[in-house]
Chains A and B, each alone.
Chain A
């Protein structure tokens, strides 16, 4: 079985790298059309013509764009993301801590959200069209329909301001005790869970229902298996590919799409870092973060693809 899988995986990875390269061009081009330049942005309201000219010269902003692109790409390939223009700090070092924070939050949100979503999906299928199904779907839909900031503020209002069970702000720092850190991220993780739950739950439900209409499920039912056994043994394994897909999509969202939640809870992750630097026109940072986000998306999608191939033998032998 190995050779077709290895070939397919290699294909996917190569495609991913190509895609990433294309994204890097887009990111670079995108940052070029932002109005204003970084020198102006660093000095802001206090810019004087002399200090502007000095800074532009110092930052090498006078070179043509393609030269700056290749200089940047070369750096990235050798692991050097450059230094932030606005603060002079090494980007790789600053991002490391931030990325770790974001991954930490995403990890705990995922740990709660994924099993919960899949279980709820399974339960919904088992009692499909009954009141349990409707209740689960309704609540999940409601939590998704509210904007993230609204859910965030509701959580803060109830759990932080009214009852003071959890802190309203989630500032975490190096060397923070694990227990305190968990308490600090409780509310943002809950907000994120609520935001991604419905999507995964409903996809699980839909995917399994789709399979439930197959002949083999009917056979299983006719054999007299219990409803749960039918779902667990026959329907779920066959629905795993689309479920993994949606789980990966939501994982990616937990990492790259949490800007609003991070801002509300003052969580020092990648989202806040990106926002700060976009307003400063700090091009190297924006590019680096953009590239990392793209890599996360592409990487998780490749994993989803590969998992689907492994789970479904039919995909391994395309006709």
Chain B
């Protein structure tokens, strides 16, 4: 490594040079971006975390109706605050590997049906009690209960029995699932004393910060938990605070004015303006989230695969990526998986082809307009994207009629009810999780009404398959099937775009969710 690069990376680590400038200079020195990035993170680590201060985040996605009960977490603020005070059984590292947290070890039987979690010694809850196998078992029981309102219930239902004995929790599944540890990284599954069965919203777990303030929809605060089991890795700031700022302009103003150190969800259309602000760094990176148009495969006229294909071919993905996401994303290919997933395989990219679209449209026998419902809340820029779709389809002779729905009630009245509408998915950590949530015939969230017994069989087979090469091939076949026969039009994967102010150190890009998978406040520090 050249001295110059090392010098520059140290300057970035100490906040004297922006990351972007560094990458530019590294490129000028003939260094690849990947290498430059790894150089940067090692320099940041070498500079070492600084303890103390109050880190503040201004986040969209909080409401006065939020609760501290992890089962009810839905939006970004409870998600991020939960990672501050909550501790999970297992988590995904920024590199996509499984990282054991309260579980010290996870093992399975050969058929992936019986799983054993060994619980770590000496992890302490905020109330002083030690975390036991019983607490973990009770947590899983609460989230897998049929009557539970938990957001994790969908895949927790696959657990047949949960038993705690000594330091171990043994899970027996109804069907084999090689991905179980990934499911346990779900952000709802915060381990609580007695599983939260006594008081689900007490806000007590074993995370790096203790809850000090909880004013839903306004602000949430925590102070460092002195007995956190990983005090050297997390919990650098003395205090953390999340201020709920749902208005995008107010959020950026708060970052610029220095009231907060980081914000989430910077709108693509203003990224270039924000970049010019001194001290502010844009943290954008790819993830599994995607923006979609969904068609119900069992509702006329979308029950005709030629019509579905015509619409898939009539969308100009490149234009949409450029105009709606301003390039902060990647092209979609009509199946919900991208390189963020460990077992992803490339499939030939579908492109805009008005002639072919016209051909399939004729073949479908349908004529007249197709009604597409859209709304601002479907995804940022959804209305613009729908209009672009309308125009590109018109060139293929397909008439799309747009109906703009009110954002209020969109998820109840339109999504998963109307046969053709705009929507988004945040993605999941594994392909199995994604397909099980939205493409199995029995899935509650099967929003494309893709009901294919042959596909279901493939999902179950892949879930039980432990040979990675075979699994990859299976997922490839499943992707092709969804892409060519499903009701999903996926023009683009979006990036997470966060931003940090001056003095924020320790940022590491994490592909799983925004704000370093929710850990930004816990893992970052304030430069002195």
Contacts and interface: CB of A to CB of B under 8 A. Distances in A.
A214 interface: no
Interface of A: 34-36, 40-51, 54-55, 84, 86-88, 94, 153, 156-157, 160-161, 164, 167-169, 171, 173, 263-266, 268, 272-273, 276-282
A212 B381 CA distance: 57
Given A50-B146, A169-B253, A266 B65 contact: no
What 4 A-B pairs come out closest when comparing CB atoms?
A: A86-B65, A168-B253, A36-B412, A168-B257
Given A161-B256, A272-B64, A264 B250 contact: yes
B320 interface: no
A169 B253 CA distance: 8
Contact of A173 (B58, B213, B217, B247): B213
B6 interface: no
B169 interface: no
Given A49-B444, A94-B64, A264-B250, 16 more contacts: A36-B413, A40-B412, A45-B74, A47-B444, A51-B147, A86-B65, A87-B65, A156-B257, A157-B253, A161-B257, A167-B254, A168-B257, A169-B58, A263-B246, A266-B244, A279-B63
Interface in B34-78: 58, 63-67, 74
Interface of B: 58, 63-67, 74, 146-149, 151, 153-154, 201, 213, 215-219, 243-247, 249-250, 253-254, 256-260, 408-409, 411-413, 415-416, 444-445
Nearest to B67: A87
Contact of B218 (A153, A160, A173): A173
B218 A268 contact: yes
Query: Which residue of B149, B215, B415 has the most chain A CB atoms within 10 A of its CB atom?
Result: B149
Contact of A168 (B67, B148, B259, B411): B259
A40 B411 CA distance: 9
Contacts of B412: 35-36, 40-41, 44, 47
Contacts of A48: 153-154, 444
The A interface, classified by DSSP as helix, strand, loop or mixed, is helix
Given A171-B219, A173-B219, A273 B64 contact: yes
A266 B63 contact: no
B253 A161 contact: yes
23 contacts: A36-B412, A40-B412, A41-B409, A41-B412, A43-B149, A45-B415, A48-B153, A51-B147, A51-B153, A86-B65, A87-B216, A156-B249, A161-B257, A167-B259, A168-B253, A168-B259, A173-B218, A263-B246, A266-B245, A266-B246, A266-B250, A268-B217, A272-B64
Given A48-B154, A273-B64, A264 B247 contact: yes
Contacts of A272: 64, 217
Given A44-B74, A268-B215, A169 B254 contact: yes
Contact of B409 (A35, A55, A167, A276): A35
A49 B444 CA distance: 8
Contacts of A88: 67, 201
Query: Which residue of B247, B257, B408, B413 has the most chain A CB atoms within 10 A of its CB atom?
Result: B257
A46 B243 contact: no
A123 to B, nearest CB: 35
Contacts of B260: 169
Contacts of B411: 44-45
Nearest to A167: B259
B444 A266 contact: no
Contacts of A157: 253
B63 to A, nearest CB: 4
Contacts of A273: 64, 217
A87 B66 contact: yes
A299 to B, nearest CB: 25
A168 B256 contact: yes
